[in-house]
Amino acid sequence: MAAGNPYLLLTPGPLTTSPTVKQAMLKDWCTWDKDYNGLVQAIRQKLVALATKDADAYTAVLMQGSGSFSVESVIGSVIPKDGKLAVITNGAYGNRIVQMANVYGIPTAVIDCGEVGSVDPRQLDDLLARDAAITHVMAVHCETTTGMLNPIADLGRVAKAHGKVFIVDAMSSFGGIPFDMADWQIDFLISSANKCIQGVPGFGFIIARRDELQACKGQARSLSLDLYDQWETMERDNGKWRFTSPTHVVRAFYQALLELEAEGGIAARHERYAANQRTLVAGMKRIGFKPLLEEAHQSPIITSFVYPESSAFTFAEFYKRLKESGFVIYPGKITAADTFRIGNIGDVEPADMERLVTAITQHQFWR
Ligand SMILES: *Cc1c(COP(=O)(O)O)cnc(C)c1O
pLDDT of 344 > 80? The answer is: yes
* Atom number of ligand 1 nearest to Cα 192: 9
pLDDT of residue 363: 85
pLDDT of 123 > 70? The answer is: yes
pLDDT of residue 21: 98
**Residue 270 burial (10 A CB sphere; 0-12, 13-18, 19+):** buried
pLDDT of 74 > 90? The answer is: yes
Angle at 83 between CA 82 and CA 84, to 5 degrees: 130
pLDDT of residue 3: 54
pLDDT tens readout for residues 140-154: 999 999 999 999 999
Helix (H, G, I), strand (E, B), or coil: what is residue 357?
helix
- Please give the Cα distance from 191 to 325 (Å, whole number): 31
Query: Could you tell me the distance, in angstroms and rounded to a whole number, from the CA of residue 32 to the centre of ligand 1?
Result: 29
- Please give the Cα distance from 194 to 203 (Å, whole number): 8
pLDDT of 1 > 60? The answer is: no
Q: Is residue 94 lining ligand 1, measured as CB closer than 6 Å?
A: no
Q: Mean pLDDT score of the chain, rounded to an integer? A: 96
pLDDT of 367 > 90? The answer is: no
* Atom number of ligand 1 nearest to Cα 195: 1
- Average pLDDT of span 319-330: 96
**305 bridge partner residues:** 291, 340
For the chain, what percent of residues have pLDDT higher than 90?
A: 95
Strand order across the 108-112 sheet: 58-64, 203-209, 188-192, 165-169, 136-140, 85-89, 108-112
Query: Could you tell me the distance, in angstroms and rounded to a whole number, from the CA of residue 8 to the centre of ligand 1?
Result: 20
CA nearest ligand 1 atom 9, residue: 67
* Rg, the chain, Cα only: 21
Q: Is 239 left (phi over 0), alpha (psi -120 to 50) or beta?
A: left
Element (H, E) at 67: helix 67-78
- Average pLDDT of span 82-98: 98
pLDDT of residue 364: 82
Q: Is residue 171 lining ligand 1, measured as CB closer than 6 Å?
A: yes
Determine contact, residues 143/150, Cβ cutoff 8 Å: yes
Q: Is residue 140 lining ligand 1, measured as CB closer than 6 Å?
A: yes
Query: Could you tell me the distance, in angstroms and rounded to a whole number, from the CA of residue 259 to the centre of ligand 1?
Result: 22
Query: Could you tell me the distance, in angstroms and rounded to a whole number, from the CA of residue 256 to the centre of ligand 1?
Result: 19
Confidence band, pLDDT 50/70/90 cuts, at residue 274: very high
Element (H, E) at 310: none
- Average pLDDT of span 176-180: 98
Q: pTM for this one? A: 0.97
Angle at 5 between CA 4 and CA 7, to 5 degrees: 155
Query: Could you tell me the distance, in angstroms and rounded to a whole number, from the CA of residue 142 to the centre of ligand 1?
Result: 10
- Average pLDDT of span 103-120: 97
pLDDT of 100 > 60? The answer is: yes
Sign of CA dihedral 289, 292, 297, 299: negative
- Average pLDDT of span 256-274: 98
Q: Is residue 208 lining ligand 1, measured as CB closer than 6 Å?
A: no
- Average pLDDT of span 176-191: 98
pLDDT of residue 2: 47
Q: Which of 68, 95, 302, 333 to mutate to test the pocket of ligand 1 (most atoms within 8 A of CB)?
A: 68
Confidence band, pLDDT 50/70/90 cuts, at residue 311: confident
Q: Which of 15, 89, 144 to mutate to test the pocket of ligand 1 (most atoms within 8 A of CB)?
A: 144
pLDDT of residue 302: 98
- Please give the Cα distance from 360 to 325 (Å, whole number): 9
Q: Strands 136-140 and 165-169: what pairing?
A: parallel
- Average pLDDT of span 312-317: 94
pLDDT of 48 > 60? The answer is: yes
Q: Is residue 90 lining ligand 1, measured as CB closer than 6 Å?
A: no
Sign of CA dihedral 321, 17, 51, 170: positive
Q: Is residue 100 lining ligand 1, measured as CB closer than 6 Å?
A: no
Helix (H, G, I), strand (E, B), or coil: what is residue 349?
coil
Query: Could you tell me the distance, in angstroms and rounded to a whole number, from the CA of residue 238 to the centre of ligand 1?
Result: 28
Query: Could you tell me the distance, in angstroms and rounded to a whole number, from the CA of residue 82 to the centre of ligand 1?
Result: 27
- Average pLDDT of span 171-197: 98
pLDDT tens readout for residues 192-214: 999 999 999 999 999 999 999 99
pLDDT tens readout for residues 8-42: 999 998 999 999 999 999 999 999 899 999 999 99
pLDDT of 321 > 50? The answer is: yes
CA nearest ligand 1 atom 6, residue: 67
